[in-house]
Amino acid sequence: GAVVSQHPSRVICKSGTSVKIECRSLDFQATTMFWYRQFPKQSLMLMATSNEGSKATYEQGVEKDKFLINHASLTLSTLTVTSAHPEDSSFYICSASPLVGRTDTQYFGPGTRLTVL
Amino acid sequence: KQEVTQIPAALSVPEGENLVLNCSFTDSAIYNLQWFRQDPGKGLTSLLLIQSSQREQTSGRLNASLDKSSGRSTLYIAASQPGDSATYLCAVAGNTPLVFGKGTRLSVIA
């Protein structure tokens, strides 16, 4: 149980295009989903926290107009990287906290590798 | 601001050896501490979660301890195997969302 999926697992795009990454909780409902970014040999850095039906809360230094987050349902959150540039190339990982049960636990997705050319 | 440090950054051991990974954090007001495993290019697998009121948790060959007052946790891996090779991340949850360390990259040599 408690499986989180991400799609796509890997994406390569041209500079200036927008990329959408989906995060789904497959077998549980999640009121809160988190988006992280991980650069090579670095730790995961929280980008934003999204709650179903409300606006996401962004961490300091993360541009909300560049990284659009939508949490439309209790099982789906999307991250759209708008006008992507090479410096946005990174590993993006989402996580989800269940609505019931172990609400203090985050279950992580497998990550999405974004490469911007 | 919570900061999490993991030492060593990398570790290489022969198969069968017992080993200890270290994690320290600056703010002792935490709810829990988790150890994760990350394989190259992959997501995170939760290994152990220790609540702030607990001292340790065990799962198979893994044992994690927590000393909240000193801001330290250790992950003990017994009888290491090549399949244990991965990056091990420590993360703490407190008044802020999860804060991760940079990880310890473990290589177990057959």
Strand, coil or helix: what is B19?
Answer: strand
Q: Give the nearest partner residue to A104 out of B41, B93, B102, using CB atoms.
A: B93
Give the A:B interface size as CB pairs under 8 Å. Answer: 44
pLDDT score of A103: 67
pLDDT digits (tens, 9 = 90+) for A21-39: 999 999 999 988 999 999 8
Between CA A8 and CA B30 the distance in angstroms is: 34
The Cβ of residue B76 has, within 10 Å, a number of other Cβ atoms equal to 15
**Residue in A43, A95, A110 nearest the CB of B102:** A43
**What is the per-residue pLDDT for A102?**
67
Summarize pLDDT for B46-55 with one digit per residue, the tens.
Answer: 899 999 999 9
Res. A105: pLDDT tops 90: no
Q: Which residues of A touch B46 (CB under 8 A)?
A: 105, 107-108
What's the confidence (pLDDT) of residue B81?
97
Interchain proximity A108–B4, CB inside 8 Å: no
Q: Answer yes or no: is pLDDT of A6 > 90.
A: yes
Res A47 pLDDT > 70: yes
CA distance B49 to B46: 8
Whether the pLDDT of residue A111 is over 90: the answer is yes
pLDDT recorded at residue A59: 92
In the prediction, which pLDDT does A1 show? 67
Low-confidence ranges of chain B (pLDDT < 70): none
State mean pLDDT over A46-57: 89
Closest-CA distance of chain B to residue A111, Å: 5
Mean pLDDT score of chain B, rounded to an integer? 94
Distance (Å, rounded) from C-alpha A5 to C-alpha A33? 12
Q: Does residue A104 contact residue B31 with C-beta atoms inside 8 Å?
A: yes
